[in-house]
Chain A
Amino acid sequence: DAGVIQSPRHEVTEMGQEVTLRCKPISGHDYLFWYRQTMMRGLELLIYFNNNVPIDDSGMPEDRFSAKMPNASFSTLKIQPSEPRDSAVYFCASSIHLSNTGELFFGEGSRLTVL
């Protein structure tokens, strides 16, 4: 089975540009999570979805960040406009049946550098 697939793996952009990160969760998983990893703050949850519906977006830094999940097999995280402090590794993760264990399966991450 394919794992969680993220694209792009690396993105370098200039301040002010729009950035779109993409994620394909594991088939059959009903939860999808976006995490951000930085040296200073570690792994932080940005937002998560259950059955394509956003459940908790309290971790989204500000209005420049938005996330969508139009269907069960695809999600996007958009940053517009991007700023240098958004430079981080963004991980997407999926899981199944939250009431069981909460184990997350992570993608390989998208490393974003904003110049």
Chain B
Amino acid sequence: EAQVTQNPRYLITVTGKKLTVTCSQNMNHEYMSWYRQDPGLGLRQIYYSMNVEVTDKGDVPEGYKVSRKEKRNFPLILESPSPNQTSLYFCASSLSRTSGNYEQYFGPGTRLTVT
């Protein structure tokens, strides 16, 4: 089954404790992306990756890091989480933009609470 998986699905942590949210896709997609969703703001892009070892900032990258060492995986790293990073996080993947197929497949979401 074609899918994007994220782990963990729920996480409560404390300020300053480093954490990683994993994302994996089994569709051989070149493009992967992270979004955060906050009430009244819709989804906003954090980082994206066009391919292995190619990443770039989205609209709200502050406080986050990413890496793309393998095509299927795109982890989101919070080196020192703060309460303003409490949010619902989505990983997404799609075929390359040049394919003309822009649909992004979303993971199930990770609900993060930073106290």
Query: Do A and B come from the same complex?
Result: no
Interface residues of chain B, those whose CB is within 8 Å of chain A, are none
